[in-house]
Structure 1
Amino acid sequence: MTQPPSQPPNEPPQGGFGAPQDPPPGGFGAPPPAQPPQPQTPPQPPSLDKKDGPAAGGDQPQQPPQPPQTQPGYGYPQAPPPGQPGYGYPQQPGRPPQAVPGYGFPQQPGQPPQGAPGYGYPGQPPQPPYGQPPQPYGYPQPTTMPMNAQGSPGGGRKFGPQAMIITAAVVAIALIVGGGFWYKSSQDSENTAGGGTEQGEGKGGEGEAPGGSGGEEKVPSDPSSKVLFQLPAPKVKGDTSFAVEGSWLTSKVFAKPGLSEINGYDLDSGKVTWTTPLSGQHCASSPEVGDGDIAAVVYENAKPTAENKYPGCDKISAIDLTTGKILWTESVEVSSRAARYDEVSISGNTVAVGGGTDGGAAFDLKSGKELWKPQNGDACEDLGYRGGEALVAVRKCGSYDNPKMEVQLLDATDGTPKWSYKLPAGLDNAKVISVDPVVFGTDSQEITASGVTDVFALDDKGDLQSRFPLEEGKFMHDCDVNKVHDCQQIFTGNGKLYVPTAEHEAAGEEYGRTNEILSFDLKTGKPTGDRFDAGGIYKIYPLRMDGENVLAYKAAPYEKGGQIVTIDPTSGKQTVLVENPGTESVRKVERNFLPEFGEVIYGDGRLFMSTLYIREASKVTDDPEYLAIAFGTS
């Protein structure tokens, strides 16, 4: 089980232009004023989009939310109970247990030299969320996990304690060049004022697509955004942080889990349009939205009590995101008890749950009818699934300490495999990056900064098409430990795999850190030569495909707001879709939700950024804590 990181320093660094102050372990802000139950309109903190925001004393970057303590029953991976037999895949016709081999552990990012400013900031990097080692500011764990049509992300950020052993980020980028990577400069790489895109570019008429590109998102006449709303974080007490991972965007609502409820918010005002109570704390959400705007969630069977501190994550429900109505609720019985899960995915009309120690199960999206479940005595079990255009399972056979693994493309209606690919010996895990085509990654390093160190691309018959490395310290994607469906900032499109590089010193006269997006050909496994620069001292995070384009979020340097850009993969031209306000108060909130420790969803001119965890508000500062913030263009 991943161990939480060490606590941040008690004393903030002193002096210097833009010197950051790391908040004490308690958090980055005091709670907002007490809210009435079921508020219809979230309270708006004063002056959020004005120059003189609620926090005075200069522009000092906030620390990301403090990680939760790892506890069973809260949606986190758990070791198999001693003496408990593993439960495999259901005994469906045509789906016999199959043997397979295994895989390794995550990598460690490079760290800048002492005193080198990270991402437009000097000195000490902020403390990252749950389970992550200290990293340079802006170093993502992941984003990219599977996205729905609106680009929904999800997933935690967990690394082992070994990740404290790291190399300098400056050395990491030198290794990229030294390792034989050749880049094709983007068309706008010389433009640094707008983060690699001229401020005048991409400003066509309302609704125009980026010139010469295959992007589907409309380009606004003016990409300058305003704050639509900000949602205060639910109040909690005690030392434990609570996971609220998962969020969804439909044409009518932005939906986000709370502690023991899910809320739907009006897209422009943030007004609560519906609230759906849950029997216990939220544990997991489907990254996908199914037909009819239906999502799936896993949650605890009860609220914690003194007698039962850790209720199990064994309730599975489908929820209509338009109305908030629970369509059905089920659980999976194995050996006279309820199986626990911490992942859920949707493919077509199938909801598949996994991530526990009992084996996978599936239900019909609309009715909740059970499609398959683990059977006692099975020699193999499904560890988890990734949904979307297809349903892919990661299956394990053999003993706990000597597993044999395989990746299977399933018939989502009954779980029977269409084909299986056995992992090479020594690989004991697989993280699915894409289902169409099927691309997955494994870790072959004991210490890893990235989510995967080896990528496998399969063809439509399940045969290996290419296998290539993502070398330690050179890239900054993330795939969560012990999760099948939680890869962030790495995805496929146009026959390529897109992934961001690790941050490095900016070239020229700019004093700060930056990075790029590179791509690999899935058929050959070789670098394509694509290079999409963040520009200046921006930091670029790929989110998802935008048609044939690449959609990315760019975190801004000092005194600027973040951007959403769509990138033409042929020319490298970046078109700005959103540019957020650069006021101090807005920047402070936005920086708490960067993709490495938050969720970022963009669609139809609106950008939603939200937290992965909530915790007790700080008793040291007056800054409010937020669940989410939304931006929109006119």
Structure 2
Amino acid sequence: MSQPPPPPPNQPPTPPQGGFGAPQDPPPQGGFGAPPPPPPGGFGAPTPPPGQPPAYGYPQAPQPPQTPPPGQPEGYGYPQAPQPPQTPPPGQPQGYGFPQAPGQPGPYPGQVPGQQPYGYGYPGAPVQQPAPPQGGGRKLSTQMQIIIAAAVAVVLIIAGGVWFAMGEDGGKGADAKGTTGTTGGGGKGGGGGGGTAADGPGKEKAPANTASKVAFQKPHPKVTYLTNVVGSWVTDKAYVKTGINSIVAYDLDKGTELWTIPLPGQVCAASRHTEGNRTAIAFEPAKATPPKNFQPCSEVGAIDLSTGKLLWSKSVTGGQGGDDKARFNEVTVGAGTVAAGGTDGGAAWDLATGKERWKPQVNAEQCYDMGYGGGAGLVAARKCGPYDQQYVIIQNLDPATGAPLSQFKMPTGVEYASVVSTKPLVVAADVGDSAGDGSGISDFFSIDEKTGKLKAKIAVDADRFAAECDVTEVESCIKVAVGNGRIYLPTEDHEGSGEYGQTNEIVSFELATGKPTSDKSDAGDRYSMFPLRMDGGNILAYKEPPYDKGGQIVSIDGATMKQTVLMENPGVESVRRAESSFSVGHSEMLFSGGRLFISEMMISEPSDSGVDDDQFYMIGYTTN
């Protein structure tokens, strides 16, 4: 059984009586979030009879100043006496409750001095009201006054909409290199300043019909203990997923099994990266048996995702493991090399042949490779020193020999580090366990992989940003993407503009300077989104849906931050419940070629409570 899923995101504060999905009192006409009906008659309606208060949209006569009754304090509706300027106590910085310097926002976490902060919560732009007529010209008729009032209202509505779309700074933002884009709740794009993203166009294109359908879904395999099923990949012909003591390929649109690679034991680690439809896994040497249901993770192998063949499998001795087989916690593929790491040390093999490139070694500095980051390059996170004086080094490696090409020593207080990207080199860490929110990230480090020099340290306030890393694994970060010389992060959820529900944004920082950019793409009311991966210069993101809709995949243009919907999943209750049963952070999500696949990473024996009835081992959606 998987862990019981959290409640679907962005539910109303109180579930309807009778259980989730039970009939409710009918919503206001037009549905939840619909605009309120206009005043009776709308703009241009007749003037109300004498004695009746004017409704919205009617021109109103100037009101004389009002004073409160004797003994009544001044407050809402009454003019207040001028107040002397307030200043904070000596030594107290200006902040909440004290006036700020004109035109300057209050202190903001991570704000660069002199730079406009991005995100929600900006004060509204002042709206210039039309000046009253001067002199003794002819008095306008009642009908003409109504027409003028309606026209002014329309102009103000349009002006307000333009300001909202462009931003308070007219669309320029704090960084002239970036542009600001926003979207509505349905994911329609808007805003942006044109241009082309630094990393070029993406491959994923919007289909003629973005509405998806369920291609297939698979129930949980029967197991008797908590079982690791990490590992999934997509080729042009198959969706490949770790099974029980096996790797299984499924037809992209039907879910029928295409081939199976049997293994002597369960997969315990899998590479995120592929090269030429080849990837790597780490697995146990034999099937787990009661009562401990555990085998050491000592075998490493390469698989061909096109043919369904185990190309080779290897194990090594040495390092902290002594004469026993070294145990590995994770494995990756980078630059033609398979590299596996763990507390016993690291080892590597040629991806194509399985030839050993290096193995764990005992050294005077008590160093060992905790793990590696792969992809375009190969980077090691190396821990050194005695237990009470350990430190972490990030090494950019020659993938053929393991020799360090450059290295960067992480600051004091870093016990683990996660490689977000190898080219450009970006590392995440929780310095001094200061994040405090379980995300595993207090800072990102942008490092020159050629020289090992630090380009920028990017502090990310745990209360504002929502990326996550498993601190004990080197290649485990989610909800983050690197491209266009920037790192893209989701903000934490916050209250939206609707009656209920939350939302968030995707924003970015420059890797060269660490400064926040003006990039911003809004999830829209009741949606929450995070990056999946880069697609050229575009950011592919998943939008977690509200309780009454399906999720979306959107492509965010890296130059304009404008969203294009690539997929919208069905909103029918049974499909929504299946989609929301996969917990973000405990499931794998892959999107490619108009298809989305979501699968579990850990499964266990089903309970007798029935809570697993709506959960699946994997589910596939398609727009094809």
Assess same fold via TM > 0.5.
yes
Counterparts in 2 of 1:537-616, with a 5 A limit? 537-616=526-605
Per-residue deviation, 1:16? 4.7
After superposition, what is the alpha-carbon deviation per residue over 1:449-476, rounded to whole angstroms, capped at 9, x for unaligned?
Answer: 4231111111232211111201122111
Match of 1:301, SS state, is coil
What residue number does 1:278 align with? Answer: 263
The one-letter code matched in structure 2 to 1:345 is T
Q: Does residue 1:312 correspond to 2:296, yes or no?
A: yes
Residue equivalent to 2:403: 416
* TM-fit CA distance, 1:57: 5.5
Query: Could you say which residue in structure 2 is the equivalent of 1:454?
Result: 443
| Aligned-partner SS, 2:578 | helix
Aligned partner of 2:505 among 503, 516, 522: 516
Are positions 1:506 and 2:478 aligned together? no
5 Å matches for 1:524-535? 524-535=513-524
Aligned residue number for residue 274 of structure 2:
289
Query: Post-superposition shift, 1:384?
Result: 0.8
Change (3 A) 1:314 1:501: same
Q: Does the 8 A contact of 1:395 with 1:407 survive in 2? A: yes
Would you say the 8 A contact 2:506–2:522 is kept in 1?
yes
Q: TM-score, normalised by structure 2?
A: 0.70
Query: Is structure 2 residue 337 aligned with structure 1 residue 350?
Result: yes
Deviation for aligned residue 1:287: 0.3
- Check conservation: 1:196, 1:533, Cα contact below 8 A: no
Q: Secondary structure at the match of 1:631?
A: strand
For the Cα contact (< 8 Å) 1:195–1:536, is it kept in 2?
A: no
Shift of residue 619 of structure 1?
Answer: 1.6
Q: Residue deviations 1:312-337, cap 9 Å, x none?
A: 01111111112221111111112221
Aligned-partner Cα distance in 2 for 1:177–1:254:
45
Residue of structure 1 in register with 2:86 after alignment: none
Which of 189, 212, 216 lines up with 2:182 in the alignment?
A: 189
Query: Aligned partners of 1:7 and 1:591: how far apart in 2?
Result: 8
Cα distance in structure 1, aligned partners of 2:562 and 2:305: 36
Letter in 1 for 2:349: F
Secondary structure at 1:337's aligned position in 2?
coil
- Residue 19 of structure 1 and its aligned partner are, at CA, apart by 7.3
Cα distance, 1:629 vs. partner? 0.6
* Separation (CA, whole Å) in 1 of partners of 2:106 and 2:533: 27
- SS of 1:537's partner is coil
Give the corresponding residue for 2:608: 619
Structure 2: runs of 5+ lacking an equivalent: 25-32, 34-104, 112-116, 120-165, 168-178
* In 1, Cα distance between equivalents of 2:561 and 2:252: 31
Identify if the C-alpha distance between structure 1 residues 410 and 506 changes in structure 2 by more than 3 Å, giving closer, same or farther: same
* Residue 328 of structure 2 corresponds to residue 338 of structure 1: no
Distance of 2:564 and 2:396 partners within structure 1: 36
Give me the whole-angstrom Cα distance separating, in 1, the residues matched to 2:317 and 2:106: 51
RMSD: 3.1
How far 1:393 moved relative to its partner?
Answer: 0.5
Q: Deviations over 1:506-553 (max 9, x none)?
A: 12x341111111100111111002111101110101111111111101
Secondary structure, counterpart of 1:245 in structure 2 = coil
In 1: Cα distance, 2:188 partner to 2:401 partner: 48
Which amino acid is the alignment partner of residue 373 of structure 2? Answer: R
Work out the CA distance in 2 between the residues paired with 1:5 and 1:583. 24
Give the C-alpha shift of residue 187 in structure 1.
6.4
Distance 2:282 2:595 in 1: 27
Decide whether aligned partners of structure 1 residues 595 and 233 sit closer, same or farther in structure 2, where only a CA change above 3 A counts: same
User: How far apart are 1:490 and its partner, in Å?
Assistant: 1.3
Q: Which moved more, 1:417-426 or 1:226-235?
A: 417-426
The residue type equivalent to 2:238 in the other structure is V
Q: What is the CA–CA distance in structure 2 between the aligned matches of 1:465 and 1:471, rounded to whole Å? A: 20
Give CA-to-partner distance per residue, 1:464-502, whole Å, 9 cap, x none: 111120112211111112111111111211111111111
Describe the superposition over 1:198-228 as per-residue Cα deviations: whole angstroms up to 9, x where unpaired. Answer: 8xx9xxxxxxx99x98222122111111111
SS at match of 1:401: helix
- 8 Å CA contact 2:380, 2:394 repeated in 1: yes
| Structure 1, gaps ≥5 residues long | 23-55, 60-119, 121-173, 202-208
Corresponding residue pairs, total: 466
AA of the residue aligned to 2:422: V
Greater mean deviation of Cα atoms: 395-404 or 371-380 = 371-380
Supply the distance in 1 between the matched residues of 2:492 and 2:516 (Cα, whole angstroms).
16
- Aligned partner of residue 317 in structure 1, secondary structure: strand
Amino acid at match of 2:285: N
Distance (Å, rounded) in 2 between the aligned partners of 1:296 and 1:610:
19
Per the alignment, do residues 513 and 425 of structure 1 end up closer, same or farther by CA in structure 2, a change over 3 Å counting? same
Contact 2:439 2:470 in 1 (8 A): no
Q: Equivalents in 2 of 1:395, 1:310: separation in Å?
A: 27
Please tell me whether residue 472 in structure 1 is matched to residue 462 in structure 2: yes
1:403 to 359, 379, 390: 390
Q: Does 1:368 align with 2:304?
A: no
TM-score, length of structure 1 as denominator length: 0.69
**SS class of match (1:313):** coil
Partner of 1:326: 310
**Could you say if the C-alpha distance between residues 471 and 261 of structure 1 is closer, same or farther in structure 2, counting changes exceeding 3 Å?**
same
- Amino acid paired to 2:269: A
Partners of 1:513 and 1:15 lie apart in 2 by 11
Structure-2 separation of matches of 1:572 and 1:289 = 28
Secondary structure, counterpart of 2:279 in structure 1 = strand
Q: For 1:531 and 1:602, how far apart are their aligned partners in 2? A: 22
2:481 corresponds to which residue?
A: 491
Amino acid at match of 2:344: D
Distance 2:180 2:473 in 1: 37
> Residue type of the partner of 2:367?
C
Deviation at 1:264, TM superposition (A): 0.5
CA change 1:315–1:358 in 2 (3 A) is same
State the distance in 1 between where 2:4 and 2:183 align.
Answer: 40
| Aligned twin of 1:103 | none
* Alignment partner, residue 302 of structure 1: 286
Deviations 1:545-592 (A, max 9, x none): 111111101011132111110011222210001111111111111112
Q: Does 1:382 align with 2:338?
A: no
Secondary structure at 1:409 match in 2: strand
Quick one: structure 1 residues 338 and 360, their matched pair in 2 at CA, closer, same or farther if it must change by over 3 Å?
same
